[in-house]
Structure 1
Amino acid sequence: MKYTVEIEIELPVSKVIELFDNPDNMKHWMDGLASFELLNGVPGQPGAKSRLIFRMGNRNIEMLETITVKKLPEEYTGTYEANGVYNVVKNRFISLPGDRTKYVSENYFEFKGFMKIIAFIMPGSFKKQSLKYLYDFKRFAENDIKHISTIQLNGTS
């Protein structure tokens, strides 16, 4: 299965990249992310391998992430392996007029075993989840949680 999702963010591409390229920010926009553990390599660099655990309902889903390409803003690609699922995600960030950014996510999935049935029955759920991550990232980036916390702590606006 292949599909592309995209969204426009009301920030310049440099700010979007700064927020996207910081693994500490993942918890702010990846709903269900319970843990992110670097297994080897340099975080976010090609060859880096990490274990991600997502809490989905009463279950934990473990994924192995491998970064394959980092040429931001043109491309940031990784593979994600979970039980019965192999996923390649290619992220691109395109500068738009008015200090805006188009975030494009190209997704490719291969399924095995039981997950083939799930993908056949509910193919739209994968695209819906990918689009949710983009909207959640947009909300995080445009509201800049760190900035908001700093404002509230300093008592200024």
Structure 2
Amino acid sequence: MKYTVSIEIALPRERVAQLLADPEHLPKWLHGLVLHEPLSGVHGQVGTTSRVVMQMGRQKIECTETITRREPVDLHGIPSESIVHFDREIVGKGMWSAVRERLIQAGPETTLWESESEYRFSGLLTRLVGLLMPAAFRKQSQQHMQDFKAFAEQGEDVREAKR
């Protein structure tokens, strides 16, 4: 299953990249995040592997995230290229996913965030979930982007919002 979602954020691309890259901000916009801890490497850098635990309703999902691409690579925190790429691979029980993020400068104070996701499932139950619920995956990805936009533009914190 593959899909792409996008959202426009009323901030310069450099600021959006900084906010997305800061692990301290993850709980403020990534609803359901219980834990995101690097197992090896430095958060956000290529090759870094992290343990990620998400709470989805009554179910906890644990997976391993590996950063597979980050371009341009910039040690000063401000990318200079017109498009920022940030890709990761996520592996969990019965599931593999690749997420390719692109931050595109749409204007001097506007960023287009495009996220392309690909999922593969193994095992009967997880394959059924993937076949029967593709719209739910897309909707969840779009919701994460909307939550980030609200956090980045207005300082809203999902931990304080009622769901």
- Cα deviation, residue 65, structure 1: 0.3
Partner AA of 1:39 in structure 2:
L
Unaligned runs of 5+ in 1: 147-157
Give the superposed CA RMSD.
1.4
Partner residue, 2:91: 81
Partner residue, 1:44: 44
- Cα deviation, residue 145, structure 1: 5.5
Percent sequence identity is 37
- Cα deviation, residue 122, structure 1: 1.1
Partner AA of 2:94 in structure 1:
G
Indicate whether 1:90 and 2:90 are aligned.
no
**C-alpha distance after superposition, 1:2-35 (max 9, x if no partner):** 1110000011111101101111111111100011
Bigger radius of gyration among the two: 1
Unaligned runs of 5+ in 2: 73-82, 158-163
Partner residue, 1:106: 116
**Farther-moved stretch of structure 1 (70-79 vs 30-39):** 70-79
Partners in 2 of 1:91 and 1:75 — Cα distance?
Answer: 6
Among candidates 150, 155, 162, match of residue 144 of structure 1: 155
- Cα deviation, residue 126, structure 1: 0.7
Q: How many residues align?
A: 146
Partners in 1 of 2:54 and 2:25 — Cα distance?
Answer: 15
Bigger relative contact order (CA 8 A; separation at least 6): 2
Partners in 1 of 2:3 and 2:145 — Cα distance?
Answer: 14
Specify which structure has the higher proportion of helix: 1
Could you list the runs of 4 or more consecutive aligned residues of structure 1 that deviate by over 4 angstroms after TM superposition? none
Indicate whether 1:130 and 2:141 are aligned.
yes
